[in-house]
């Protein structure tokens, strides 16, 4: 029993190293993330008792080999093999800014080239449906209608599908998530066509810069917490009205 206790780490490391090798769990050069040990980088060495990881800040983290079996961690090998890194981020739309669109407004939106054909095709289908059910279009709520939020989603989808930095062979999706107290989340799910960190960040920022700048064209407002400057401006406006 004493001997087992003395060689516990060695025995566990030996068993773990066999499982790691047999099941191809990690390899030298794999990028792994293991928050428990502060590891986020490439594996340099896999020994009987320890695994050495070089983090992206060039520090070295040493973790027990058996922890690769007993604890959870993330291996980014699949991302590197497929040549694309996932972008999964959302913006919050103020729900009070979502509304139906009138036909004269749709004519203006048709000037946005990425959604011209979509609007024309979709509106033909909607008009046929509304005629069939004899919808009273004196009120927009009657029948089916396009909304500015729905059109914005389609625009984002077309934009990222045509963006030079996205991987067209992997999933591309723009979806609406459940409403929250912060608004209606519109999520972009796409893969960059690079795994280089700096290039990936540039592509993601470029996409969301455009999305945020495009929202006002659709009459949509993006939710953000009011800062002290915003509150002060409201107080000034209130005092001017008083």
- Taking alpha carbons only, the member of 15, 59, 21, 17 closest to residue 37 is 59
The pLDDT assigned to 47 comes to 86
Tell me the average pLDDT of the chain: 89
Confidence class for position 70, pLDDT limits 50, 70, 90: confident
Q: What angle do the packed helices 116-132 and 148-162 form, to 10 degrees?
A: 150
pLDDT, position 22 = 81
Q: How far apart are CA 190 and CA 214, in angstroms?
A: 18
Q: For the residues 75-83, what does the mean pLDDT come to? A: 84
Instruction: Say whether 29 sits in a helix, a strand or coil.
Output: coil
pLDDT above 90 covers a percentage of the chain that reads 69
The full set of domain ranges for the chain reads 2-75, 85-218
pLDDT tier, 86 (very low <50, low <70, confident <90, very high otherwise)? very high
pLDDT tops 70 at residue 17: yes
pLDDT at 241: 55
Q: How many CB atoms lie within 10 A of CB 222?
A: 15
pLDDT band at residue 21 using 50, 70 and 90 as cut-offs: confident
Phi and psi torsions of 207, nearest 5°: -65, -45
Which CATH architecture fits 2-75? Roll (2.30)
3-class DSSP assignment, residue 173: strand
Residue-level pLDDT at 6: 53
Q: Which of 87-96, 118-127, 139-148, 223-232 has the lowest mean pLDDT?
A: 223-232
Would you give the distance in Å from CA 232 to the centre of its chain? 33
Those residues with Cβ within 8 angstroms of residue 135's Cβ, 6 or more apart along the chain or in another chain: 129, 142, 143, 144
Q: Could you give the CA distance from residue 168 to residue 84 in angstroms, rounded to a whole number?
A: 10
Strand order in the sheet with 50-55: 60-64, 50-55, 39-46, 31-34, 74-75
| Consecutive H or E run containing 125 | helix 116-132
What integer is the mean pLDDT of 14-32? 85
How much is the pTM?
A: 0.77
Q: Is the pLDDT of residue 236 over 80?
A: no
Q: Looking at residues 177-200, what average pLDDT do you find?
A: 95
pLDDT recorded at residue 232: 61
Q: Measure the CA–CA gap between 53 and 124, rounded to whole angstroms.
A: 59
């Amino acid at each position: 029993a004493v001997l087992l206790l003395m060689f516990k780490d060695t025995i566990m490391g030996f068993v773990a190293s066999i499982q790691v090798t047999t099941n191809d769990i990690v390899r030298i050069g794999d990028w792994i993330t293991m928050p428990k040990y502060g590891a986020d980088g490439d594996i340099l060495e896999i020994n009987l008792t320890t695994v050495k990881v070089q983090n992206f800040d060039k520090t070295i983290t040493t973790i027990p080999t058996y922890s690769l079996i007993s604890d959870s961690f993330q291996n980014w090998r699949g991302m590197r093999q497929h040549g694309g890194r996932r972008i999964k981020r959302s913006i919050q739309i103020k729900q009070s800014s979502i509304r139906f669109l009138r036909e004269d407004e749709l004519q203006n939106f048709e000037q946005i080239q990425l959604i011209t054909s979509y609007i024309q095709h979709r509106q033909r289908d909607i008009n046929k449906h509304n005629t069939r059910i004899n919808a009273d279009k004196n009120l927009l709520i009657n029948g089916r209608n396009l909304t500015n939020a729905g059109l914005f989603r389609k625009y984002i989808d077309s934009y990222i599908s045509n963006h030079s930095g996205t991987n067209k062979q992997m999933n591309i999706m723009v979806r609406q998530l459940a409403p929250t107290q912060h608004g209606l989340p519109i999520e972009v799910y796409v893969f960059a066509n690079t795994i280089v960190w700096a290039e990936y960040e540039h592509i993601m920022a470029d996409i969301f810069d455009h999305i945020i700048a495009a929202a006002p064209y659709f009459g949509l407002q993006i939710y953000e917490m009011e800062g002290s400057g915003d509150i002060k401006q409201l107080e000034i406006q209130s005092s001017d009205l008083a």
